[in-house]
Structure 1
């Protein structure tokens, strides 16, 4: 692009209308493609001379339209809050003033609505992904939603519990062969990381988890006991060996009394 000399203007040589844009050709040879709205706003016609200031305003308007199209393309693929669009514009090299103008326009046109975004995320997205209240609030803060909007959201306990139970059922299948104590602790940890309050997580665990029956538990304990014994008896003997085996089985989530009974039974056999 040629730099305008001081006090020199640009004269429009010809105007060509195309399907989606209007091509302006200047006597200097420079060409600019304008949207119909920009063309109308600047009241351009063949033979008109644009001052340096007018020409730079026209260029600025074209750049702003390009960035607006970029923002619209983002919103056409996914719903975003205003702060995320603002950051994406800055990363694209857009001046902060122009970025704010674009955000204001999109908000005025109803294409950006942070309050609606927050409500949609808290309800639809969270239900689809089975997020609890605390994870939702954290994510919305991270996306730059205002405290006023976030504090307006409500999270009825009954709905939180339904989501927690649904996620606990997934964990129940994932941890199917895990001993009871370990299964409960893992499930509680996963539910808490998913954003559920402790009381909701505990109730979901009570309602959704199933556990090995006595025969299955004994078979699993036998297998893990033999594995731990084979691992530690190469290095330890007697009391120390028993302690290492007990620690290993406790970490796997077996009941302490069941472990002690197994260890003592093995010692009696030896």
Structure 2
């Protein structure tokens, strides 16, 4: 199989483009170009072509990983799942994950902290945040530290109750507000304390 053309990338660090006989196109990194000593007009035997295609797929998989990680934060577990779904072998995927961690594109510890802050800012409690940790495949070794860095939930609960409760003596209103807070990930003890605080403040002002 002959290389009809070998084009460098428009941007440094991006894959090179190979056009083979039959119009088949491969995209490979600069390291692959060097390792395989590629040049326009080179003839490739079957073994070399097979190795080149594997290298091209690995380069494409790495580019997909970069695209995923620059678009939004995610855990190593989520990235692993996505790359495996795209056809990457376990070995290829682990190599890409290790590479992304080495260059700082992937950091489960910082991701856990950012995720916890994000959901607390949206008004959610610790149990909802834990659900998100689990759903987004954040390793459990980072949960405790991320949760410990959060602010106390009292202000969040108080603001929620101020917006929802008009009369703390109305049992239906109280139950509806309490159930909503529990669904948001707060414990019953936190919710009960919040309702008591609301009742005390309400009594002082009415």
Task: Give the aligned CA root-mean-square deviation in angstroms.
Answer: 3.1
- Structure number, greater radius of gyration: 1
Alpha-carbon distance between aligned partners in 1 of 2:169 and 2:70, rounded to the nearest angstrom: 48
Q: Size of the alignment, in residue pairs?
A: 200
Task: Kindly indicate whether the alpha-carbon contact (under 8 Å) linking 1:130 and 1:166 is maintained by their aligned counterparts in 2.
Answer: no
Match of 1:141 in 2: 134
Contact 1:13 1:26 (C-alpha < 8 Å) held by counterparts = yes
Contact 1:23/1:32 (<8 A) preserved: yes
- Taking a change above 3 Å as real, the CA distance of residues 38 and 207 of structure 1, as seen in their structure-2 partners, is farther
Tell me the SS of whatever aligns to 1:24.
strand
Unaligned stretches of 5+ residues in structure 2: none
CA 1:187–1:108: 2 relative to 1, 3 Å: same
Q: How far did 1:164 drift?
A: 1.9
Matched, 1:72 2:66: yes
Structure 1 length normalisation: TM-score? 0.62
Indicate the SS of the match to 2:88: coil
- Aligned-pair distance for 1:180? 1.1
Aligned partner of 2:144 in structure 1 is: 151
Q: Per the alignment, in what secondary structure is the counterpart of residue 152 of structure 1? A: helix
Normalized against structure 2, the TM-score is what?
0.79
Q: Is the 8 A contact 1:187 1:205 kept in 2?
A: no
Task: Give the aligned partner of residue 36 of structure 2.
Answer: 42
Go from structure 1 to structure 2 and tell me whether the alpha carbon gap of 1:201 and 1:27 turns closer, same or farther (over 3 Å shift): closer
Structure with greater contact order relative to length (CA < 8 Å, sep ≥ 6): 2
User: Which residue number corresponds to residue 114 of structure 1?
Assistant: 108
